[in-house]
Every structure is written in structure tokens, then in C-alpha cells.
Amino acid sequence: MTNIIKAQKGTKDILPAEISKWYNLEKKAEEVFSFAGFKEIRTPIFEATELFARGVGDTTDIVNKEMYSFEKSERSLTLRPENTAGVVRSFIENGMHRLTAPVKLWYKGPMFRYERPQAGRQRQFHQVGVEMFGIKEPSADAEVILLAVNYLKSIGLCDLDVEINSLGCPNCRETFSKKLKDAIRPYLANMCPDCQERFEKNPLRLLDCKVPECNEVLNSEEIQNVITSEYICDECSEHFNKVKEYLDALNIKYSVNRLLVRGLDYYNRTVFEIKSNNLGSQNAVCGGGRYDSLVRHLGGVDTPAVGFAMGMERLNSLLPDVEDNKLDIFVVSSSSTEAFKVVNELRAAGFSADFDLSCKKFGKQIEKASKVASHAVIVCEDEIANNTVSIKDFSTSEQKTVSRNDYINCLK
Ligand code: HAM
């Protein structure tokens, strides 16, 4: 036992007892997203490292600290830490800008980030997400937020907090960053090392810091005045107001959080997160926003875009466990050959069915049948001799014997 190899820190097996919950999240995603005209896309799990460095941004924690990168044939490759960059790469490479806009895509699958594992935070985790290309109007932002809310409702999560913000355009960002830096400069020495770095490389991320000393600075009246001041241009403001108007019309409750800046560099204008009070410090189940320059930035034809991704482990942790589905039928027989034949006929007719491969005693087989299936089909000596089968319904304990030629119809 000393040499047992264990799963890596921050990774988890998804065991058979949990798989129904996962199937449900995936099935509902397929239903809700395809009802809204989104088509599934599956991109590779590893990509050129450069895609994430350029796409997600080389001042972000994801790119600086959290990527699983490795060399193969002198190329640097990275396990995807998120899927927006990969979907954008595919959009460009496959000429999807030539399709009629909007191009609506959804995806699910594993992502990899070398983060410190804790409740709700893994090194391999799963996301389900959507990306919509080609629409610059605020209706696309609202459509994507609506879709996120409707997906959450469909899986039984209705009472979550939607937070939105607008980061404005690059011009607004530059003016605001300068104002923020001027206000924070006198207090910078008291802030954490990460913030000292962010101050130079990506000042907006200063708003995102959770360290108490930094929070104290951010909460001071002087800095709050800067944060809450008019910070976006008229055009960005109009865009944001229209998004809010749509959400109001759709009865989607939200709050505006000026500190919401998101940890990825590609966003402009609308950003949003959906959070739960029941998740501790890692409380975001969904994060997304608009990224109008990413397609151009990665070499494609200028195309506006907006999307979101949700953490599937976090969704699952908010949902009750589901009971495993029982089999339709367990075949009980004194002859494994007969059992094989009957199981095969049942499966071909669309029933889930199984039997005892080691042909144990009748009592043991029927006991197992009652635990794993709703019905037993019994084919023992009498039944074989008379060309019949007996069907036992475990919910009523009723048993009846029918012709072997007609038992499938009786079961149906
Ligand atoms: P993100 O906020 O980095 O955004 O991740 C989205 C969601 O993935 C989070 O809200 C969280 O639920 C889950 N998540 C992230 N990291 C972990 C982790 N280490 N362990 C467990 N769950 C995690 C993105 O990934 C963007 N690509 C979203 C997007 C799509 N923006 C536009 N389109």
C-alpha cells in the first residue's frame, strides 16, 4: 500500500456515484443553449502558449503564475486555463467571420490552472460556457446574461446574485487608470506586493485585491470618490445604460459593482459575475463579459464578442445529490447462456438490463435484482422448459409468467 499513486493535488476523480449530477449539467447546457441557437464547439485541450500570453494577457495571474506549460518539439504548449482564447483561435482559423452574425458557440470541458487548491478551487476544473461573435450592440450583452440566468434556473439555481460593471473602452480605461494611480500613489507603500506590481502593469486590477491593508486603502473616502466618479465616456455609458434597461425589462435582478474588474485582460465595456452566498471565498459560479478587440488582437477580422463561463464543480456543490437511476431489468436465471440471450434481447429492445455473470444461487440473484433494478425477468428451469419468462415488479412485488415469444411486448 506504500507505493500507491494518488491523484494530483487540486485534481479530483468524478466517481460513478456523482456522474448523474454531471450528466444533468451537461444535458441542461445542451438544451438551454441550443434552444437559444448556440452550437457546441470542441477545441483542443492544449494550445500554443503564445495564444494565452497574447489572448488572456501577460499581466494576468493566469498567464504569469498559473499556466501548465511544457515543451514538445521545441514548441511551448499550454493546457488551456480557460476556453475563450481557444474558441477565438478556432473562429479565426476556420473563417467563421464569413458566417452570418451572430456566430453563437457553446462548450464544456476541463481547464487547468496552477492555483493554490482550496474549497471551490481546483487545478483541474470544468467549465461550461458560451461565446457570441459579431454583435456590438448591448442586446448581445443582455442576451448572454439572460442565457446564463436561464441556464442556472434550469438546473435549479434561482437565487444567485448577478453583479455587473462597465470597464469602458480603452480610452476610458486609460483616463480612469491615471486618476486611480494618482489617488493611490501616496498609499502604495502600504499595499501588498501584488498590488505594487499591478500599479505599474494593470492598475484596474488594484480594485480586485482582497488583502485587508489594500482594502482599507480602497475604502478610504478619497479613493472611493475616484472609484464612484463618472469614469466612462458618453458612448460607453449609453451602452451600459441600455444593457441595464434590457435586464430591467427581463426582470433580471442585478447590482452594479464598481470593483468588478475580472482577472483576464481581454474585456472592455460590460463585465459580469454571478455569485452565491453559500460558497465561501470562491463564490463566483459564472464570469463573463464583452471582449471586442480580442479577435483582431489575435490576428482575425475585427469582430465584437461577448461570452461567459461557469465552474461546473461550483455549480454541482450548490446542487443536492441525485439518486442513481435503477436499471429497468435484472435477469435472474439458472443458465448463464439463457441470461445472456435475454439480456441481449432486452437491451436491443431499449431496456437497460444486466445479469449475474457468475450465475450465483437464485436467492442471491433475486436479492441483487431488487437492489439494482425495478423489475426482474426470471428464466429458470420451469420457464426454460415451458418457453416462458416470469416478470417480477419490485414496486408491487407482483409476479406473472408470460410467453417467451411475447415478454418484450408485456414489458413495454
Ligand atoms: P473566469 O472568471 O476565469 O472566466 O472563470 C469562470 C468560472 O470558472 C469562475 O466563475 C469559476 O466558477 C470557475 N473557475 C475558475 N477558476 C476555477 C478553479 N481554479 N477551480 C474551480 N472553478 C474555477 C473565464 O474563464 C472566462 N473565459 C469567461 C468568459 C467567457 N469570458 C468571456 N467569455
Q: Yes or no: say if 264 and 255 are a contact pair by the CB < 8 Å rule.
A: no
DSSP 121: B
Question: Is the model's pLDDT at 346 over the cut of 80?
Answer: yes
Question: Is the model's pLDDT at 387 over the cut of 90?
Answer: yes
Percent of the chain topping pLDDT 70: 100
Handedness of CA 105, 111, 117, 119 (dihedral sign): positive
Question: For a substitution probing ligand 1, which of 103, 121, 127 has the most ligand atoms within 8 Å of its CB?
Answer: 127
Question: Is the model's pLDDT at 1 over the cut of 70?
Answer: no
CA 273 / ligand 1 centre spacing (Å):
10
Q: What angle do CA 43, 47, 52 make, to 5 degrees?
A: 110
The DSSP H or E segment spanning 55 is helix 49-55
Give pLDDT tens digits for 156-179.
999 899 999 999 999 999 999 999
In the block, residue with C-alpha cell 445529490: 321
CA 237 / ligand 1 centre spacing (Å):
26
Kindly report the three-state secondary structure assignment for every residue of 262-328: CCCCCCEEEEEEEECHHHCCCCEEEEEEECCCHHHHCCCCCCCEEEEEEEHHHHHHHCCCCCCCCEE
29 Cβ contact list (under 8 Å, min separation 6): 106, 108, 128, 151
Q: What is the CB < 6 Å shell around ligand 1?
A: 82, 84, 113, 115, 121-122, 125, 127, 129, 131, 263-264, 284-289, 307-311, 313-314
DSSP 123: S
Handedness of CA 178, 183, 188, 194 (dihedral sign): negative
| pLDDT mean across residues, the chain | 95
CA 286 / ligand 1 centre spacing (Å):
7
The DSSP H or E segment spanning 210 is none
384 Cβ contact list (under 8 Å, min separation 6): 334, 335, 338
* Residue 122, all three cell numbers: 481546483
CA 83 / ligand 1 centre spacing (Å):
9
**Distance between CA atoms of residues 137 and 359, nearest Å:** 66
Give pLDDT tens digits for 293-310.
999 999 999 999 999 999
Which amino acid appears at position 252 of this protein? I
CA 105 / ligand 1 centre spacing (Å):
17
pTM of the model: 0.93
Q: Checking DSSP bridges between strand 75-79 and strand 46-48, what pairing results, if any?
A: antiparallel
